[in-house]
Amino acid sequence: MNLSLTDIPLPIRLRTESPLTDEELLRFCADNDPLRVERDSNGELIVMSPTGTEGGFVESDVALELGIWARQDGRGRMLASNTGVRLSDSSIRAADAAWVSWERLNSLTADQRKGYSPFCPEFVIEVRSESDGLEPVRDRMQMWLANGAELAWLIDPARRVVEIYRMAEETELHENPTSVQGTGPVRGFDLVMARIWG
């Protein structure tokens, strides 16, 4: 399959005659770099444009802080924003930053690690860009929880708000926090927001 999407306004949703296999999706993504492509639970492809500069600053700062902490902590690894994972609802998704335990990673075969690994990260962070509607991003946070994430943070730079999601708990809303502390799988992670807000 060779399909170029460079002249189409994004984001768009595409339905193929039959859902793409993981291998076909990997090839489709490579053919359409630098677009971000995910597959939803119905097999539809969601094609998004690359992040803008300001959003890229925030995403990279968040990923940098999580990655440094993960390396020092030693209990797991940070997944970058272009790392797709196959969730229990059969979708292929990628968070802006995520953390997965060594226990979960070590349960994978070498072949599983080469493609879309069949797990949900224990912790995910999504950064809302100015073009993202708030409700669709909140729905995305619930999707992560429904597929096994224990903790999820939604960082909204425009509102200077961090929303914290946990399974079977009310969402916590933190307005202009100086820092946000990890709990559960990422206890000990402290994200200093002055580095993120800029």
Q: What digits encode the pLDDT tens for the residues 133-166?
A: 999 999 999 999 999 999 999 999 999 999 999 9
Check whether 3 has a pLDDT greater than 90: no
pTM comes to 0.91
Superfamily of domain 53-197: tt1808, chain A (3.90.1570.10)
The strands making up 123-127's β-sheet, listed across from edge to edge, are: 76-79, 97-101, 123-127, 151-156, 161-166, 172-175
Share of the chain above pLDDT 90, in %: 78
pLDDT tens column, 65-83: 999 999 999 999 999 998 9
Domain positions in the chain: 12-48, 53-197
Cis before 177 (ω within 30):
no
Rounded CA gap, 94 and 47, in Å? Answer: 12
Is 138 or 47 the better-scoring residue by pLDDT?
138
